[in-house]
Amino acid sequence: MPSSLRVVLAEDSVLLREGLIGLLARFGHEVAAAVGDAEALREAVAAHAPDIVVTDVRMPPGFQDEGLRAAVALRAARPELPVLVLSQYVQRSYATELLDSGDGTGVGYLLKDRIGQVEEFLDALTRVAAGGTVVDPEVVRQLLRRRRDPLAALTPREREVLGLVAEGHSNGAIARRLVVTEAAVGKHIGNILGKLDLPPAEDTHRRVLAVLTYLRA
């Protein structure tokens, strides 16, 4: 993954668009195109072949979820295209729909508030561009309160670990956060995958499936 990303940006608010261009440029990323609606987003992606697409959910012409629809459509055409969706809503439905697109890797669903946490935002951007899966901690926190099948089988600690996986953290990052060894995290994840009935396969894939199970629960 290049340290400098070619970004196609879709955001209808001029103020925010200019701010994001400045922010990304300042940290060495190249904004190949910045557009204001979903149709222009599709054209810009076709024209520029970016490393990552960053898009707002609500955009013209309908000001509903055009941005999200465009992101899902783009990933249907190119499942490996990394997409980071910025949303003004803590909404499971949006996150689930996005994660369902493609194979669930290289997608992110972040609250717009997160742009203000500049380093967190850039970190999420690079992780998604590298094929990671990132769900906003706020969405994850809300879901953590739910105690329902198929997560009923998980211990509180396993749920905590799964929450951090959903936010898109690596085993190392989770270990640091929980102040345990990376091996312990690996063991927890193994248990989670077992309890969620996700048979062994390629590792990152199963992680995404676990996150999806988690979001749908």
Q: Where do we find the tokens 């997409």? A: 83
Residue 182 sits at φ, ψ, to 5 deg, of: -65, -30
Distance CA 136, CA 140 (A): 6
- Per DSSP, the three-state class of 34 is strand
Specify the stretch interacting with other proteins by CB under 8 A; choose among 72-80, 98-106, 146-154, 188-196.
Answer: 146-154
Per CB under 8 A, the list member of 91, 101, 133, 213 interacting with other proteins is 91
* Amino acid symbol at 199: P
Distance from first CA to last CA of the chain, Å, rounded? 33
Q: Please state whether the peptide bond connecting residue 150 to the residue before it is cis, i.e. omega within 30 degrees of 0.
A: yes
Site for other proteins in 70-89 (CB under 8 A): 88-89
Stretch 19-58: interaction string toward other proteins, x if CB under 8 A? xx--x--x------------------------------xx
Nearer to other proteins, 143 or 174 (CB): 143
Bridge partners of residue 10, in order along the sequence: 35, 55
- Radius of gyration for the alpha carbons in the chain, expressed in angstroms and rounded: 17
Q: Is 61 in the site for other proteins (CB under 8 A)?
A: no
Among 61, 119, 179, 202, which residue interacts with other proteins (rule: CB under 8 A)? 119
Q: Which of 117, 150, 190, 205 binds other proteins (CB under 8 A)?
A: 117
Closest approach, Cβ 10 to other proteins, in A, equals 14
d(CA 37, CA 115) in angstroms, rounded, equals 20
Q: How many residues does the chain have?
A: 217
Nearer to other proteins, 90 or 130 (CB): 90
CB of 16 to other proteins, least distance (A): 5
Q: How many angstroms separate the CA atoms of 10 and 155, rounded?
A: 40
Q: How far apart are CA 207 and CA 216, in angstroms?
A: 14
Whichever of 14 and 77 has its CB closer to other proteins, that residue is: 14
Q: Which stretch binds other proteins (CB under 8 A): 38-46, 111-119, 166-174, 187-195?
A: 111-119
Cα 3 to Cα 63: distance, rounded to the nearest angstrom: 34
Q: How far is the CB of 43 from other proteins (least distance, A)?
A: 23
The footprint of other proteins on this chain (CB under 8 A) covers a number of residues equal to 34
| Residues binding other proteins (CB under 8 A) | 13, 15-16, 19-20, 23, 26, 57-58, 63-65, 68, 88-94, 111-113, 115-119, 142-143, 145-148
